[in-house]
Amino acid sequence: MTHSEQLPAVMNGHSLNGMGSEKSDLVTMTIAGQVFGIPVLQVQDVLNPQRITRIPLAPKEVAGALNLRGRIVTVIDLRCCLGMPPFESNGKSRMSIVVENQGELYSLLVDQIGEVMSLPNADFESNPPTLEKRWRSVATGIYRLNQSLLVVLDVSRLLDTVKTEEAA
């Protein structure tokens, strides 16, 4: 099996380093102390705390909607999607990462946005069997960092789970 077969979600054009690159660039975020990442080329924008309007009868994963330069964007609470406890503000506000999926913009609500990390594709691992079931269903794999585990999220699968639960 070649690297491109092992890492399709990470390598298929999701690297700033060009085709045939040996590294993947990920925007990192922290949610409930856990580090996650998404391919940098899927990120449209990074937002400071925004005013979010609640949507009546929306699924619990939908935190509401926000106005981004005249465009209405659905806000998805990643804590809820990933089965984590609700956010306790303690005077802190949450940030958002805006992504596009099937022509629609979504704002992924996270506790904190980290840095862009360029990680060697050789260090990418498939999801371990001990990874929480809900996380495995929306993750492409992991990177083992010095002090933590970085879980690489598949934005399409993540948003599909919200749409599936919405339809149920």
| pLDDT tens sequence across 151-168 | 999 999 999 888 755 555
| pLDDT value of residue 89 | 73
Percent of the chain with pLDDT over 70: 83
| pLDDT value of residue 122 | 93
Q: Which two tokens stand for residue 31?
A: 């949610």
| Residue 28 pLDDT > 90 | yes
| pLDDT value of residue 112 | 94
Number of Cβ within 10 Å of residue 165's Cβ equals: 14
- Which are the contacts of 73, defined by CB distance < 8 A and separation ≥ 6? 65, 66, 67, 98, 105, 106, 107
Q: What burial letters (b/e) apply to 19-41, b meaning 16+ CB within 10 Å?
A: eebebbbbbbbebeebbbbbbbe
Give 101-112 pLDDT, tens digit per residue: 988 999 999 999
| Residue 40 pLDDT > 90 | yes
User: What is the mean pLDDT of the segment spanning 8-37?
Assistant: 70
| pLDDT value of residue 1 | 33
For residue 115, what is the enclosing H or E element?
A: strand 112-120
The sheet with strand 95-101 has its strands ordered as 43-47, 95-101, 104-110, 71-77, 62-68
- Which are the contacts of 28, defined by CB distance < 8 A and separation ≥ 6? 35, 36, 37, 113, 114, 115, 116, 117, 150
DSSP letter, residue 114: E
| pLDDT value of residue 93 | 84
When pLDDT is cut at 50, 70 and 90, the band that residue 17 belongs to is very low
| pLDDT value of residue 167 | 54
- The stretches of 8-151 forming alpha helices (DSSP H) are 8-11, 78-81, 133-138
Give yes or no for a contact between 109 and 77, defined as CB atoms under 8 angstroms apart. Answer: yes
